[in-house]
């Protein structure tokens, strides 16, 4: 398996009313490709967003497997940190801690606005983008397709060719309230667990050893856990030399779980995408304990746009638990995306520009 070529960058987010004029948060971005990737004029670009509590590098095992299986279809992949997570949390710490308007952190909707600006930026112009989200980031991604960020004649309203939504927490508000007690119990549990979670260790190796024997990390793929230790932790300024702590502030992570409105709004956006012939593919976990079956059935219905659905072995944290199986399913979906484009252009895959 060829190693990934990785390039890091930052992107300045749109001005937000909660920040002083001229003060803007940043996205932390990594671009991945391989020497045998498809050329830019033929290949797809993947745009990947992580779940609450994760960071962009946790996608790397999945990305590497996708390139190993479908380098002929994919030119490059971008993974983006939520502004309060991973490297972005470090970049934005000064603003987040000093601005009175940031007591609630950064909503999924605001993250979506920033992603919307990024995918319409000059560096992404002309790319055929497939948005791939996991859990809460699915709502941010679909919102980015209708971002209020102003487009111009050279920046299309939506640059996405398709979306792949993995265990999305998007839900119509009436369905959320159908089983409100369960939803609230789940929310209270994850918020409480987040606020109690251990955050610091004497070394990265101590952190790795501690996590691999405890839920939920004990069921993670070891490569993803290693990414968490190597990239999700940073030097602990209040600890001894070599000590590390989680880069993200758990207060903002906990607040993200209670930010429900973007997830209530997302189903209508998904239906509009379907009406504009933008394919939306859902991937559910075979052992998923979080998303009720009636929600999964709703998204497969005609009322929701009749999106395609499939299942992968694992629980809600599919990216962390089964990156290879997830990558294989994504590759099958990418095949469908490319075949649909080829049929639309009247050319077979071998001669088509995707």
- 93-129 tens-digit pLDDT: 999 999 888 999 999 999 999 999 999 999 999 999 9
Identify the three-state secondary structure at position 95.
Answer: helix
Q: What is the maximum alpha-carbon separation in the chain?
A: 64
Nearest to 165 by CA among 41, 333, 52, 277: 333
Are the CB atoms for 312 and 282 separated by under 8 Å?
no
Name the average pLDDT for the chain.
91
Lowest-confidence segment of 33-42, 74-83, 178-187, 339-348 by average pLDDT: 339-348
Buried-state track 291-320, b at ≥16 Cβ within 10 A, e below 16? bbeebbeebeeeebbebeeeebebbbbbbb
Are the CB atoms for 92 and 27 separated by under 8 Å?
no
Residues 217, 321: Cα–Cα separation, whole Å? 9
Task: State both tokens at 285.
Answer: 């976990």
Q: How confident is the model over 299-342, as pLDDT tens digits?
A: 999 888 777 899 999 999 999 999 999 999 999 999 999 987 77
Question: Which residues face 202 on adjacent strands?
Answer: none
Lowest-confidence segment of 114-123, 145-154, 188-197, 256-265 by average pLDDT: 145-154
pLDDT band at 191 (very low <50, low <70, confident <90, very high): very high
Eight-class DSSP state of 300: T
Instruction: Give the right CATH number for 5-177+261-351 from 3.40.50.1820, 3.30.70.141, 3.30.430.20, 3.40.640.10.
Output: 3.40.50.1820
Residues 121, 123: Cα–Cα separation, whole Å? 6
Are the CB atoms for 158 and 146 separated by under 8 Å?
yes
DSSP characters for 151-177?
Answer: P-TTS-S--EEEEEEES-----HHHHH
**pLDDT, position 153:** 41
pLDDT at residue 347 is higher than 50 = no
Alpha carbon distances (Å) from 281 to 62, 175, 218, 236, 333: 17, 20, 29, 40, 8
Q: How confident is the model over 116-170, as pLDDT tens digits?
A: 999 999 999 999 999 999 999 999 999 999 865 444 444 446 789 999 999 999 9
Eight-class DSSP state of 320: H
Task: State both tokens at 236.
Answer: 């602990």
> E-assigned strands of 69-207?
74-80, 129-134, 160-166, 200-201
**What average pLDDT score do residues 10-34 get?**
96
Residues 189, 154: Cα–Cα separation, whole Å? 46
Residues 236, 206: Cα–Cα separation, whole Å? 14
**pLDDT, position 304:** 83
Residues 349, 339: Cα–Cα separation, whole Å? 6
Residues 131, 162: Cα–Cα separation, whole Å? 6
pLDDT at residue 349 is higher than 50 = no
Nearest to 91 by CA among 19, 152, 9, 166: 9
Alpha carbon distances (Å) from 239 to 125, 201, 203, 214: 44, 9, 10, 23
Residues 76, 325: Cα–Cα separation, whole Å? 20
Task: State both tokens at 73.
Answer: 């279809």
Residues 116, 159: Cα–Cα separation, whole Å? 9
Domain extent listing, the chain: 5-177+261-351
Residues 197, 192: Cα–Cα separation, whole Å? 9
**pLDDT, position 248:** 95
Q: How confident is the model over 46-72, as pLDDT tens digits?
A: 999 999 999 999 999 999 999 999 999
**What average pLDDT score do residues 346-352 get?**
32
Could you tell me how many residues make up the chain? 354
Task: State both tokens at 65.
Answer: 């497997």
**pLDDT, position 234:** 98
**pLDDT, position 215:** 92
């Amino acid at each position: 398996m060829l190693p990934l070529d990785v390039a890091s960058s930052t992107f300045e987010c749109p001005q937000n009313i909660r920040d002083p004029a001229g003060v803007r948060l940043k996205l932390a971005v990594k671009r991945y490709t391989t020497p045998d990737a498809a050329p830019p004029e033929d290949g797809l670009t993947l745009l990947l967003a992580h779940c609450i509590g994760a960071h962009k590098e946790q996608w790397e095992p999945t990305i590497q497997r996708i390139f190993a299986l479908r380098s002929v279809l994919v030119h490059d992949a971008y993974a983006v940190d939520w502004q309060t997570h991973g490297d972005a949390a470090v970049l934005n710490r000064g603003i987040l801690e000093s601005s009175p308007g940031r007591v609630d952190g950064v909503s999924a909707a605001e993250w979506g606005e920033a992603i919307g600006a990024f995918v319409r930026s000059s560096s992404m112009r002309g790319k055929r983008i497939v948005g791939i989200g996991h859990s809460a980031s699915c709502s941010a991604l679909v919102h980015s397709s209708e971002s209020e960020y102003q487009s111009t004649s050279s920046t299309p309203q939506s640059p996405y060719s398709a979306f792949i939504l993995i265990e999305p927490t998007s839900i119509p508000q009436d369905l959320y309230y159908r089983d409100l007690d369960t939803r609230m119990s789940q929310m209270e549990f994850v918020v409480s667990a987040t606020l109690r979670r251990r955050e610091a260790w004497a070394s990265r190796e101590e952190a790795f050893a501690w996590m691999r024997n405890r839920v939920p990390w004990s069921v993670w793929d070891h490569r993803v856990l290693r990414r968490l230790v190597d990239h999700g932790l940073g030097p602990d300024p209040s600890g001894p030399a070599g000590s590390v702590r989680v880069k993200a502030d758990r207060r903002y992570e906990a607040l993200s779980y209670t930010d429900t409105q973007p997830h209530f709004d997302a189903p209508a956006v998904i239906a509009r995408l379907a009406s504009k012939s933008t394919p939306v593919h859902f991937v559910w976990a075979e052992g998923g304990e979080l998303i009720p079956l009636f929600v999964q059935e709703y998204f497969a219905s005609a009322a929701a746009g009749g999106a395609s659905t499939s299942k992968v072995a694992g629980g809600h944290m599919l990216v962390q638990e089964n990156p290879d199986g997830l990558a294989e399913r994504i590759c099958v979906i990418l095949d469908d995306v490319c075949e649909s484009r080829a049929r639309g252009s009247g050319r077979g895959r071998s001669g088509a520009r995707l």
